[in-house]
Amino acid sequence: MNRHVFDASFKRMAIDLSYARGSVKEVADDLRIDPARMSKWRQKVSSPMKSTIGLTEKQKEIKRLKKELKEAQLERAILKKAISISRIKSGIFNSPGETGGIGFHKRTSKPVSPPKKMYKVLQVCASGYYYWLKSPISLRELKEQELVPQIKEIYQQSKCRYGIPRISFELQAQGIRASRPRVARVMRKW
């Protein structure tokens, strides 16, 4: 059996041609290559030229800017997701389903964004992220979760006029031990 070896320039030319024509099978037949092989070549190429042949400089610039915009939007969505995960994990919301419209992380769902991109944006490694996600809520966070409804109630009763010192004084008057810094920390979270 005779095996054909193709150099990188031929592969690149074939890939660009397939994107320009829009059909892998058609180009593979013209070049007498197996279409499956050509598809594998296209998958291995990290940044295909995808129909930039025949485009003007303005069109190429628009295409490049659209790609950058898509990446920026993805990074923004990742950061929003990270904020929502940290807010849900720390238990700021009244009910488990309340997320403030930011997004909700479910361990059973598939990632919305590519994981490698997410780790790069958040500047964490994969193992560290999943370790944090699986770790139990600390005792301090649990106690602060218990304070949230009481602080909100005092704040609502005061017609949103009380600040941290008065709320901490009211909690102490009710027999609940909470320092001013703790009340400030809990109020900053919501």
Q: Grade residue 153 by pLDDT with cuts at 50, 70 and 90.
A: very high
156 vs 77, which has greater pLDDT? 156
Q: State percent of the chain over pLDDT 70.
A: 77
pLDDT, residue 2, reads 64
Tell me: pLDDT of 18 over 60: yes
pLDDT digit string, tens, across residues 107-150? 434 445 567 777 777 788 888 877 877 887 788 888 888 899 99
Largest CA distance in the chain: 89
Q: Grade residue 169 by pLDDT with cuts at 50, 70 and 90.
A: very high
pLDDT digit string, tens, across residues 42-62? 888 755 455 566 778 888 889
pLDDT digit string, tens, across residues 80-106? 777 766 655 554 433 334 433 333 344
Structure tokens, 120: 């790069």
The amino acid at 17: L
pLDDT, residue 109, reads 42
CA nearest 89: which of 133, 59, 34? 133
pLDDT, residue 40, reads 87
Q: 9 — phi, psi (to 5°)?
A: -65, -40
Reported in sequence order, the residue ranges of the chain that DSSP labels E, i.e. its strands, are none
